[in-house]
Amino acid sequence: MGFGLPAAIGVKTGCPDQTVWCIDGDGSFQMTIQELGTIAQENTAVKIAIMNNGYLGMVRQWQELFYDRRYVATPLSGPDYVKIAEAYGIPALRVKDKKEVVPAIEQAMTEPGPFLIDFMVEPEENVYPMVPPGASLAEVMEEPKEKVLSDSAKLPTSNI
C-alpha cells in the first residue's frame, strides 16, 4: 500500500517507450499523492487508475469476510482526485458508470503525457484472489468463501 504511484514513476523512467499504468486504491493513492508534483514537473507519462471505493479496501474486505462486517478504521474520506490532478496540470476525469470505462481508457491512452482516471467503484465489492488473515500464500482464496466451501462444510467466521 502506498507503493503503486512511485513504482509506476520508476518503471516509466526505466522504460520510457512503454505504456505504464498505476492501478491503485484510493487509500494507497493518498499515501503518495504528492508524487503528482513529480509527474507534472517531469511530464512523466504515467496513466493512473484510482479504484475509489471510499475504504481501505483490503482491510475492509477482511473485516467483512472474517470479522462479521465490524468495520473499524477503514471508511475513508478522500479529496476530489480529478481536481487535484487538474491543479497540477494533469488531465483527469471521473468514471461513475460502466459504459464510461472504455472511452475513459481510450482518452487516457491518446494523451501523450500523464492522465488520471478516478473510477468510482461499489464500496463493498471484493477483490480476489486474496490471502486470509494468518494464512500463507499457499492458502489463497480465489473466490468468496461461500463458493469455496459447500453449505455443509462452511466454517463459522468467528473461528477464522
Per-residue pLDDT tens over the stretch 79-106? 999 999 999 999 999 999 999 999 999 9
Task: Tell whether 115 and 137 lie within a shared domain.
Answer: no
Q: pLDDT band at residue 110, thresholds of 50, 70 and 90?
A: very high
User: Which pLDDT band holds residue 72 (cuts at 50, 70, 90)?
Assistant: confident
Domain count, the chain: 2
Q: Grid cell 496513466 — which residue?
A: 47
State the distance between the two ends of the chain, measured CA to CA, in whole angstroms: 24
Q: Residue 149 — pLDDT band, cuts 50, 70, 90?
A: very low
Nearest CA-CA partner of 158 in 60, 48, 67, 86 = 67
Q: Are 146 and 122 in contact (CB under 8 A)?
A: no
160 is in which domain, residue-wise?
129-160
Are 55 and 75 within 8 A, CB to CB?
Answer: yes
Torsion of CA 149, 152, 158, 160, to 10 degrees: -30
Amino acid 154: pLDDT: 43
Q: Model confidence at 146, in pLDDT bands (50, 70, 90)?
A: low
| Shared-domain flag, residues 157 and 79 | no
Q: What CATH number did the domain enclosing 86 receive? A: 3.40.50.970
Q: What is the CA radius of gyration of the chain?
A: 18
Is pLDDT above 90 for 76? no
Same domain, 137 and 152: yes
Short-list 61, 79, 81, 80, CA closest to 71: 61
pLDDT digit string (tens) for 3-22? 999 999 999 999 999 999 99
Q: Are residues 80 and 146 in the same domain?
A: no
